[in-house]
Structure 1
Amino acid sequence: MIGHKRIPSREGGVEIVVDELSTRLVRLGCQVDAYNRYGRHTAGRRFDERRGRYYNGIRLITIPTPKSSAFNAIVYSFLASLRALFGHYDVIHFHAEGPCIVIWIPKLFGIHVVATIHGLDWQRAKWGNFASDMLKLGEKLAAKYADEIIVLSQNMKEYFKETYGRDTILIPNGIDRPAIKKADLIQKEYGLERDGYILFLARIVPEKGLHYLIEAFKKLDTDKKLVIAGGTSHSDEYVKKIKAMSETDKRIIMTDFIHGQCLEELYSNAYLYVLPSDVEGMALTLLEAMSYGNCCLVSDIKENTEVTEGCAVTFQKGSVKQLGIKLDELLKDSGKVQSFKERSQDFICQKYNWDQVVKETLSLYEQK
């Protein structure tokens, strides 16, 4: 596995997918190596302690990478690919567009390569022109050299067909049915009670549309809090903007990165989960929110509506006004919120299943 930052971690959806996929492949008898990136920030230091160790039966190999966000993925992928040439692998699985910039290297040596495109990353606002160009190049090289390409949505499948004439395999992410937790840690840490807050849980980056949500929320007449839970990803200036917007409203709580029991409690006790994104691949946080039986309010981009179908409330992408109207309606109509809560968990857990994801992915590996 090449392309993620680190496992085990929840730094992004790619990391969760690589973790879930690799763990289940090992259970089926596969030998899996995951090429982690070396990182000097807090999360990086913690996970670098696992160098040379195994996690859930997965061998973790750490690759040195530069601090520069523009070159991080390129250098890591190049070094990981060179190291992988000596691994005697049947298959190398690349994740995300950036790492696919070197997908041709193992292909030159006759190794079966599979690429999962988690989203059209070059569209994301956090990247500058150089990084966006490199991501687009990775996408083109994946289309040209990958033996199999996995996409997460019908929208992306159509994009690859129209842009490159390339057939892809649609294998959405999976989800497990979680246990619902009472508000304990979140009550002690943040003063949060069941149904007492609206939850935004995602990376704090421009394309997630958090600025729309804060602007809309500040105009609402409600005692409920807005909880913003998520870490950053090469988006320091945007985070400063979000903090400045939030500081003027005492109802807004920023928790920073959340994991473990606290994360489970946030999902379990929210009145409403909101994902106002402009760009998505397939948001694992949305799947998770629905798996906990949340009423979800999401932007009407295809990547969101394909997931939720009729089991979530939608608003027009980028419209602060319409987002505010929908929020106000749901805050005033607890019965409507409850009706969505009652059907979201069963719907999402029946629709998406990790074991099925692994079965379909393994079938692509075996086509070599």
Structure 2
Amino acid sequence: MGNMKIAVIGTRGIPTSQGGVERHVEELYARLAQNHDITVYCRNNYTPSNISEYKSIKVRRLPNLNTKHFDAISHTFLAACDTFRHDYDIIHFHAIGPNLLSFIPRIKRRAKIVATVHALDWQRAKWRMFAKTMLKLGERASVTFPDLTISVSNAMKEYLKEKYGRDTIYIPNGINKPALRQPAQIRDYSLKKHGYVLFLGRLVPEKNPHLLIQAFKDLKTDLRLVIAGDTSHTDTYHESLMKESANDDRIIFTGIVGGDLLRELYSNAYLFVLPSSLEGTPITLLEALSYGLPTLCSDIEPNLEIVGRDGQYATVFHSEDLQDLKVKLSAMLADTNGIRVKAQKASEKIIDSYNWDKIAIQTERAYKTIIE
């Protein structure tokens, strides 16, 4: 099988400015588009109307209902129906919400269906009972309708096997080789090299930035805390973070970051903290480690799969344990040399193990197993 015609459904769109699934889609399919015909379905309110192709990827914009509960599923429905008009070999759904509708293209039966499970989204705090129920059905659909299911972590692979008795294949997220940068744009935020602790991610409860803010406020340090990210239909939570930080001028909110600014933040931070209670394979963790950035993360299974259970590549704290987070954070602030030695080992391992070029090859091979 030579050139394949592949449709991608489930991302907000490309080029990306936020979101793990969006980053995954952009990096993966920019590589596959060198040898295959790739179409990524994008939401009208996310991808500019003047973009019809990006990094050799065809961009297909369709409407969506821009509300918390119907944003993703409305767009997924239209995209899944639109596939009837095209002669795709592979239709690849990403995330358990969109995966709920992966049965629709099977009506035509020609295309092979692939689904990737990025995270157990029904566990996210922003969803209420009805949405959680739909997402759980999407989780089941992820291993029911597709010809092939991909898990982004071994923990996810084991979970799906134990719960549904379905074998999936493990293909993780990846990173690009880091591009170290000297301070320039970060000076606009009054930041200097090794002068701040970095949090990077969506400002949602399961990422636990509130926990980090609470821990940081109790520390006596001249370092600053940078909270880089934006909301995801969680404006009330965002407001609570702002109130929590109001009396500490060491805490900075940057909003969404990307490009050179993102690279500068990684290159010059003293420490990266990921306090999440829910992840798939966190790209921000991979990226921080690839930059040789000393890292503190929660001891949830997807994180441990990356950093090791023995603290070989990062320091871990008990998930959602504020006191343990304070203790570990304080210890890392006092051990500059030790944490940098560990971080350098992590960088070498991550760059070799989580490489987008290798991941693209693995994905291409997986497609071919169901086509040939």
Shared fold per TM-score greater than 0.5: yes
Contact 2:17 2:256 in 1 (8 A): no
**1:147-206 CA deviation, whole Å, 9 max, x = no partner?**
11000111111111111111000011111211210011101x111111100000111000
CA distance in 2, matches of 1:136, 1:87: 30
Displacement of 1:314? 0.1
After TM superposition, the structure 1 = structure 2 runs for residues 38-77 of structure 1, keeping only pairs within 5 Å, are 38-39=44-45, 44=46, 47-51=47-51, 53-77=52-76
Counterpart residue number, 2:160: 160
Corresponding residue of 2:175: 175
SS in 1 for 2:262: helix
- Whether 2:14 is the aligned partner of 1:7: answer yes
The residue number in structure 1 matching 2:133 is 133
Bigger shift: 331-340 or 88-97? Answer: 331-340
CA RMSD for the aligned pairs? 1.0
1:21 equivalent in structure 2: 28
TM-score, normalised via structure 1 length: 0.96
Quote the offset at 1:121 in angstroms.
0.5
1:27-80 Cα distance to aligned partner (Å, 9 max, x none): 1x10000000121xxxx3xx32334x1111111011100122111111111100
Q: Distance in 2 between matches of 1:50 and 1:69?
A: 26
Gaps of 5+ in 2: 1-7
Which residue in the other structure is 1:330 paired with? 332
- 1:352 aligned partner: 354
Aligned pairs for 1:75-154 (under 5 A) are 75-110=74-109, 111-154=111-154
TM-score between the two structures when normalised by the length of structure 2: 0.95
Does the Cα contact within 8 Å between 1:294 and 1:340 map onto a contact in 2? Answer: no
Residue number in structure 2 paired with 1:291? 290
Partners of 2:128 and 2:234 lie apart in 1 by 11
The answer to whether residue 326 in structure 2 is matched with residue 319 in structure 1 is: no
Worse overlay, 172-181 or 265-274: 172-181
Asked whether the 8 Å contact 2:292–2:340 carries over to 1, the reply is no
What's the counterpart of residue 268 of structure 1? 267
TM superposition outliers: structure 1 runs of 4+ over 4 Å: none
Aligned to 2:5: none
Q: Deviations over 1:226-278 (max 9, x none)?
A: 00000111111110110111111111011111111111100000000000001
Query: Could you tell me which of 18, 36, 39 is aligned with 1:30?
Result: 36
Task: Tell me which amino acid in the other structure corresponds to 2:170.
Answer: L
Q: Is the 8 A contact 1:70 1:130 kept in 2?
A: no
Q: Does 2:209 correspond to 1:207? A: no
Equivalent position amino acid for 1:118 in 2:
H
- The SS at the match of 1:32 is strand
Displacement, 1:128?
1.8
8 Å CA contact retained: 2:116, 2:142: no
- What one-letter code is carried by the residue in structure 1 that aligns with 2:183? A
Query: Which residue identity does 2:206 align to in structure 1?
Result: E
How many residue pairs align between the two structures? 359
Native 8 Å contact 1:276 1:298 kept in 2: yes
Asked whether the 8 Å contact 1:50–1:60 carries over to 2, the reply is: no
Q: Specify the code of the residue in structure 2 equivalent to 1:49.
A: S
Shift of 1:341: 2.6
Describe the SS at the equivalent of 1:250: coil
Runs of 5+ in structure 1 lacking a partner? none
Distance 2:214 2:244 in 1: 8
Map residues 239-278 of structure 1 onto 2, 5 A cutoff.
239-278=238-277
Q: Distance in 1 between matches of 2:142 and 2:329?
A: 40
Which residue of structure 1 aligns with residue 185 of structure 2?
185
